[in-house]
Structure 1
Amino acid sequence: MNGEQIVRVVLVDDHAVIRAGLAQLLAAATDIEVVGEASDGAQAVEVATTLVPDVVLMDLQMPGTDGVTATRRIKQSGLPIDVLVLTSYSDNERILGALDAGAVGYLLKDADPDDVIAGIRAVARGESPMHPKAARALLGSRPSTGQGQLTNRELEVLALVREGLANKQIARRLEISERTVKAHLTSAFARIGVTDRTQAALWAERNGL
């Protein structure tokens, strides 16, 4: 936010009636100012990088350049712009795609109007507002980084990885096949969010295995 504590917002939606409705809604908030609008992703990137608002309220499903691609391009510009998604879709693929592209929050169009205003203010404070339905979908799809989601055998395998044992040695130690060790490692890597043995060993060390 600038020195006047006004949150500058750009609205992105391919439906003019929705942009008009959002502009009217936000006009009632004295601490929020709509400084620009865009009807597709390519225009959103151009408007956002030109005006450098505090928040871009981004739709996802648009003709041409979609909202995920636009979000990624805005974030790649390096400008201090936060993107808050406002869409009709709550499927895991779109949520994860938007967040991975750099969006800091995810709201649905069936949200209460006051929640949209509150979401923009939350983003300006450095928070990450999330519609409850989107949050549930996200929690159900992200790998857990806690030990509670790992099986006892996966914990045993990770502990031995930490000791520096190769798969063949782990198989011999646990009296299981090397193929089974690989299967446990693949599953454990996905659950704790790592991609190689070094990361897994560091995770195991941090978690006291």
Structure 2
Amino acid sequence: MEKSILSFRNLFSDSKIVILSDDYDTRQVQLAFKLSVSAYLLKRINFVTLVKSLELVMLGESLFPADVLKEIGKEHGVDIHVEKEVIAYSPPPSNSGRGLSAREMQILKCLIQGDSNKVIARRLQIGEATVKVHIKAILRKIRVQNRTQAAIWAVSHLEPAPAADLSGIGYGSETIIAAAS
């Protein structure tokens, strides 16, 4: 794993690195921490938590499992106290997409994929201003504040989207994902 991270770091020095693993290995987490990896997450993480975790990483936060950090602290004689806080987003009650036009449903599916307004406009062959109008209508109809909440709403209320491709540089049971800074 160390070689993969170092070679990736050499190629993309300004990128943030997130490791997805099958399980937590204290030594691997400790190594990732020493190599300035931004996050160490489990592959079985749910979609919403993954998106929120990646958003936090892009904001400059580091994410490591609390139990593993406590163990590392014990090994180095440091007492680490972790407050566990659960932040949840509950989408407002909905009508499961009724009232949304076919075009709005297409745009919602693009939002789930994280597409920008420009990408959506090109994909659907409409103007960027038209995309903005549709997004404002979607936000109003499903009663959410922003495009991220709309994507979360769509994931929980519309038919499932294809699984995310989480491929990256593989190393055993770990996968390294990079996010441009």
Q: Same fold (TM over 0.5)?
A: no
TM-score normalized by structure 1?
A: 0.33
Q: Which structure has greater helix proportion?
A: 1
TM-score normalized by structure 2?
A: 0.37
In our comparison, the structure showing a higher alpha carbon Rg is 1
Structure number with greater CO (CA < 8 Å, separation at least 6) is 2
